[in-house]
Chain A
């Protein structure tokens, strides 16, 4: 069945006709045109598709879009304000937390969820929060350093 899905994506209200079987990752990429969110596996294994729903991390590849009715969905694109990178985006760039970049949107959104609930996480808390996000390139050390660095930075005004 198709119904009208109303929600906000990166702060903007939207209304789209969406079928019950559409996954959030496909809605974001193909309907909303936000291709920052990646699909890295065939379902639930890698974390590349992590987005925020009401500030809490979700795997968009195993979330039904219609289950987000009335909610605030945020993707990596939404972190950039007026063309300025957020502190996490800047830290991943400066501390080499990103190499090929495929896992990066998911890593950043899972880290964003962590920093919103715990502004000063220790390394164990960072490791726990990113436990479901898999990176083929970095070996994770630089990712943890990036999150630690971001926690010490101010968000751009």
Chain B
């Protein structure tokens, strides 16, 4: 048997135990569904000496609604999130996005936390050990240069989780636990700007839940483009949430995935409010998104394709949500 590098698996039952294990074991990684980390370990992209299994931490598995706020434990599965009747009724965009992740068998074990903390992806990185060795590895892992943009000493691997943009447009917060206790911050603050170190989590810190406020009149939707409709990661994913006041756009939020190093909450959409949704406004929105989207040659399709498909999904989602009332 030669499946995985050797490691020691720990089974905390509480968040406090998980945090303590993270502090005691140098180089330890958290694992939840394992549908990303174990794939990377099979390819020797990662070989942590210790894995801390979060799936038996009961307090991280619950989905609850507290005073109108949805609280989703980081170890809840995507299948559970997508099927939850409260989520489907009040925060349907989260169920939609969760339901598009990977295939149905993955979603039985894939978790919300694993999806929000999904390692960034690149065609030069998500490859076998032999393939990466033959290419001298790359900056993100063991190597010296970035094959996507060799000029600059940084990594452009794209964050490609589906749930993050949906959670961002609904104003989600991240609840993080670590050696210094728990803290709550805007979900956007979980993400950094370097594909090689994409998360702003301190040593031993883990995501324990997300909190999503009552949507009020905000309605959201998510769509993604991918190679095979049944299973693949997004080439570009777009989440939109908006509120309509009569014929006017009263609130508009857009977030992207798989196009940038981080899931990108587009800034400046408030300049497009308080008017009807005509073609001028849609074009202005497209220009705004066009300035912030940053697809690099890190997927099997070209950057230009991902720009165009993101713009098309954006128009379709905004028009659909505006009309649906």
Contacts and interface: CB of A to CB of B under 8 A. Distances in A.
A58 B109 CA distance: 8
Interface of A, secondary structure class, is mixed
Interface stretch (B16-24, B35-43, B173-181): B35-43
B119 interface: no
Contacts of B5: 21
Size range of the chain A interface in the assembly = 20 to 34
B35 A20 contact: no
Interface string A40-54: 001111010010000
A129 B128 CA distance: 28
Interface in A18-52: 19-23, 25-26, 30, 42-45, 47, 50
Given A43-B38, A44-B106, A21 B7 contact: yes
Given A44-B102, A59-B106, A63-B38, 9 more contacts: A20-B8, A20-B51, A21-B5, A23-B3, A43-B39, A43-B42, A58-B108, A62-B35, A132-B106
A25 B264 CA distance: 38
**A45, A50, A62, A132, most chain B CB atoms within 10 A:** A62
Interface of A: 1, 19-23, 25-26, 30, 42-45, 47, 50, 56-59, 61-64, 66-67, 110, 127-129, 131-133
Contact of A44 (B1, B3, B35): B35
**B4, B103, B105, B128, most chain A CB atoms within 10 A:** B105
Contacts of A133: 103
A143 to B, nearest CB: 13
Interface residues of B, number: 27
Given A62-B38, A131-B231, A42 B105 contact: no
Per CB-CB distance, the 5 closest pairs between chain A and chain B, nearest first, are A132-B103, A131-B230, A20-B9, A23-B3, A43-B39
